[in-house]
Structure 1
């Protein structure tokens, strides 16, 4: 072992052990149930989190808790060595129906956090809202799968998770270990491991799909055998997506296509077993995938996951790597019970929605039929929407198919001196479609007083330089909207010039699970954007440059003031199309976190 990096190695008699620990605490993350019955007990967690999303297990401190209408077992908790960066508080109760949050604060360390909203009712609802990461990713060592599920349950505080190893890499022995971990960690009412695997064909054979079983100990049917696998069961392989669909069509299996390492080809679809598709993960946000499913007239819902390799299902962060760009997504499911059958029945019925990783509460119905439902009517449908955000809401958009029917603008107005610069979009409609944005804002006849980042999820994304006259940055992302907020002291004629260039990922070649060696991602120069303006001009309206490729755009505007965190409205569609009308909602918060609800499918029967 070379202990000091000097190049001098000395033999040791015992096997070395290394402890991987979190960094300094940067924030407090409070997780609570999204719904509760007044008077009944529940538990919440407080996590001290470092900049990478890890539990800050070296953090020591006392955290005060408070919540209007929430009776807490303790109003102060201590983080000590045994805490590991996470403290659970049992015996909490809601004292009255309504919307509630729990606030955590350590004034000495200047750390704080606010929980997701808790919607409390007087009586039990038919369906409860549960959160999970069905595509929680994978770890190489199968003996760490138990730790994978423990993290999901005890650190991320989610209700269900799926371990989804790429099938050509799964040995028979590893699959047996996985199945044992799934059984051992199944705790109905508390936590559900979803058995399954990632069917991992190349795109020309259908692309990657997640396979979920509604029973434990089911057979593994791979898309193909890796060279390291014993070929004894090669005759059970399902090399093409058509064969996979045929094999599972009349079973209780649930399958979801996604855009991950290899994008699924949506020309192949089996409605019997494919109720939803994954549109957000650490790989990025893929609204083009959502749109394609609607364009093909598929009746599919929308889910999110992490698809990570870090063993942190439920709250994964991208890490300092070339092919992960944002924190993991989440899936919300309305289920009658927290069991394996309950979770997958909710997914099968499309009572699901996707978020970018925050716990936004979304309720959408049409004439009383909740999201995922399908029904017929000869009357104009009334779509009812209720959203309670994890933070201030900016807009809530109601779509019929790909047509926006209504937009609820939530901001009460715009700032007089705060400028927002945002950029968004992807490089191509496939996997590893990130964009690197390098930009500069220059101010003349004025000064920049403060700069705040919006969704700089990747640690590769940084503000490089900042002065009172300019700011420059380098940013890595894929699909989602990110940006900067700049507080500017100036007058109407204060000049502002925004300049951005982008490099898009042009190749995504990697070795076969590391066995063939790495093949580098390559980049190609793409956009060059220059937006000259003034504070006075921006007061008249935003400046937006659409770049024409996969929603890539740059917007310069006076920053919208944060809006309320809830909205409730109804819209009657007086002109539904004859046939199937999918009504769905996209939620955007002020911090650019998002949610996408599964559609309600309304079969409108037109008069003769």
Structure 2
């Protein structure tokens, strides 16, 4: 069976419960750069702390948020229904169920309907989910069990076919993964990682989701998921979810595929002897490495081969990034990129919202900049030789929280093609040869003001890896998975394939 790759974010928030921005803004922003999304409302917390001396603020804002969602639930369902059009964009209904003991779960149904129902504990939630033909997906699983991290002793894969391992909370893949958990909910715990779950014999997929709290599903760099499905319909997406043909990515659309004797990710197969693993990866920028893991250990590593581009005509990826400046001063951008020769083959937006993971996480002045505009970043016009877009940026919140925005272009043309970027009345021009593997930066109004970076330009071959690996059985059940790292820090992690010796 051949499947298409679709991109989505099943975990984002807004003011429909607690957070910033409207449902309408969230859906419009999601449709810019995703195939599907879910605007999730915070709904229930059956074992919420009751000690008001210590947790009064937390108790109050959660209860207020739950009440807000309950009063607007039918409106949320209807807005997501109206935003959906099979083949173009789908919004999937969901709500969040918190638990100290069992970890937080999001409840989903194929939609467009989903009853808003509570449960006293995780077994009860599973029964609620079954009645809706839904699924319950654990997220930020890496926190310690008993403190809103996953409880692997209570996990059941029948209603939780995958878990969320990457978001603004950090990465829960393994104990030594990049992106530590830095929220005040605490550090990552080795007993709560995805690798620990696989070690225990559980079979589940992995995805990314932003857990963004300012109406920006798919906020670039904060987490998203890829899904291999027959087409962009509710039924096909749901079939892919249940089959675990899903994977996690940080932000760039890294098309990563792994097959084992024809089996897709998420499959369980029997193979008593040698097995052949094939991988094919197409990144959005220069690949650093592609790693195949068996039972948690790297057994094969691939790197792209550097190439000398054909000076008369070649395909490249070019990234343009803008922002910087003072974080308290918003900047409006009007930008145009044009080519003197060749053509633009593809445009990928790298738009993001403010890095907000909790309602108290940012000052009102910071989020109001984006709340005032339904689409703070937007492509205005595009053809084979040019692309026009607008944007609003503020300076980076910290040196670890970027608010820069970006666009990634696939171009085809000779090396003497001139790329001209016009930004807020300033004009910068370079040949492709001058941008090859080199980024050029410019301040628009002098030091410590807004800036733009053009490049680097990289041949598409250096964004691509294909490989094959033949392996022997190591244990009664071998777990194979793939992970991909780009040089720019973007990652993808694939759901495993399980191989029984038979």
**Aligned counterpart for 1:241 among listed residues 122, 126, 129:** 122
**Aligned counterpart for 1:588 among listed residues 473, 485, 488:** 485
Quote how far apart the aligned CAs of 1:458 are. Answer: 9.9
SS of residue in 1 equivalent to 2:251: coil
Q: 2:194, 2:396 → 1: CA distance?
A: 27
Q: 1:458, 1:248 → 2: CA distance?
A: 43
- From the superposition, tell whether residues 458 and 279 of structure 1 become closer, same or farther in structure 2 (CA, over 3 Å): farther
SS of residue in 1 equivalent to 2:22: helix
Give the equivalent residue in structure 2 for 1:386. 280
Does the CA-based 8 Å contact 2:276-2:471 persist in structure 1?
yes
Quote how far apart the aligned CAs of 1:564 are. Answer: 1.6
1:133 and 2:19 are equivalent in the alignment: no
**Aligned counterpart for 1:273 among listed residues 152, 155, 159:** 159
* Deviations 1:531-584 (CA, angstroms, capped at 9, x unpaired): xxxxxxxxxxxxxxxxxxxxxxxxxxxxxx998211111111123312x22211
**Aligned counterpart for 2:208 among listed residues 300, 304, 307:** 304
1:350 and 2:254 are equivalent in the alignment: no
TM-score by length of 1: 0.49
With CA pairs under 8 Å and 6+ residues apart, which has the higher RCO, 1 or 2?
2
Q: Matches of residues 400-479 of structure 1 in structure 2 within 5 Å?
A: 400-410=294-304, 459-462=396-399, 475=400
Quote how far apart the aligned CAs of 1:411 are. Answer: 7.2
**Aligned counterpart for 2:113 among listed residues 214, 217, 221:** 217
* Deviations 1:494-527 (CA, angstroms, capped at 9, x unpaired): xxxxxxxxxxxxxxxxxxxxxxxxxxxxxxxxxx
Give the equivalent residue in structure 2 for 1:283. 169
* Deviations 1:47-98 (CA, angstroms, capped at 9, x unpaired): xxxxxxxxxxxxxxxxxxxxxxxxxxxxxxxxxxxxxxxxxxxxxxxxxxxx
Give the equivalent residue in structure 1 for 2:94. 196
Quote how far apart the aligned CAs of 1:302 are. Answer: 0.9
Does the CA-based 8 Å contact 2:473-2:501 persist in structure 1?
no
Q: Show structure 1 runs of 5+ residues with no match.
A: 1-124, 223-237, 317-326, 414-430, 433-456, 463-474, 478-560
Q: 2:464, 2:478 → 1: CA distance?
A: 26
Quote how far apart the aligned CAs of 1:245 are. Answer: 2.0
Quote how far apart the aligned CAs of 1:374 are. Answer: 1.2
Does the CA-based 8 Å contact 1:254-1:344 persist in structure 2?
no
Give the equivalent residue in structure 2 for 1:163. 39
Q: Matches of residues 22-37 of structure 1 in structure 2 within 5 Å?
A: none
Does the CA-based 8 Å contact 2:11-2:211 persist in structure 1?
yes
Q: Matches of residues 99-114 of structure 1 in structure 2 within 5 Å?
A: none
**Aligned counterpart for 2:134 among listed residues 239, 244, 253:** 253
Quote how far apart the aligned CAs of 1:136 are. Answer: 2.2
Give the equivalent residue in structure 1 for 2:370. none
Q: 2:66, 2:37 → 1: CA distance?
A: 19
Give the equivalent residue in structure 1 for 2:22. 144
TM-score by length of 2: 0.59
Q: 1:255, 1:176 → 2: CA distance?
A: 20
SS of residue in 2 equivalent to 1:591: coil
SS of residue in 2 equivalent to 1:170: helix
Quote how far apart the aligned CAs of 1:375 are. Answer: 1.4
Does the CA-based 8 Å contact 1:209-1:264 persist in structure 2?
no
Q: 1:299, 1:251 → 2: CA distance?
A: 23
Does the CA-based 8 Å contact 2:17-2:41 persist in structure 1?
no
Does the CA-based 8 Å contact 2:117-2:128 persist in structure 1?
no
Quote how far apart the aligned CAs of 1:250 are. Answer: 6.8
- From the superposition, tell whether residues 269 and 251 of structure 1 become closer, same or farther in structure 2 (CA, over 3 Å): farther
1:599 and 2:496 are equivalent in the alignment: yes
SS of residue in 1 equivalent to 2:85: coil
Q: 2:73, 2:219 → 1: CA distance?
A: 25
Quote how far apart the aligned CAs of 1:242 are. Answer: 2.2
Quote how far apart the aligned CAs of 1:275 are. Answer: 0.8
Q: 1:377, 1:141 → 2: CA distance?
A: 48
Q: 1:210, 1:354 → 2: CA distance?
A: 17
Quote how far apart the aligned CAs of 1:263 are. Answer: 2.7
SS of residue in 1 equivalent to 2:207: strand
**Aligned counterpart for 1:361 among listed residues 255, 258, 261:** 255
* Deviations 1:169-205 (CA, angstroms, capped at 9, x unpaired): 334321111111121112111111011111122x22x
SS of residue in 2 equivalent to 1:265: coil
Q: 2:272, 2:172 → 1: CA distance?
A: 34
* Greater per-residue helix proportion: 2
The alignment yields a C-alpha RMSD, in angstroms, of: 2.7
Does the CA-based 8 Å contact 1:394-1:411 persist in structure 2?
no
Q: 1:293, 1:276 → 2: CA distance?
A: 11
Quote how far apart the aligned CAs of 1:252 are. Answer: 2.0
SS of residue in 1 equivalent to 2:14: coil
Does the CA-based 8 Å contact 1:250-1:272 persist in structure 2?
no
Q: 1:340, 1:411 → 2: CA distance?
A: 39
* Greater per-residue strand proportion: 1
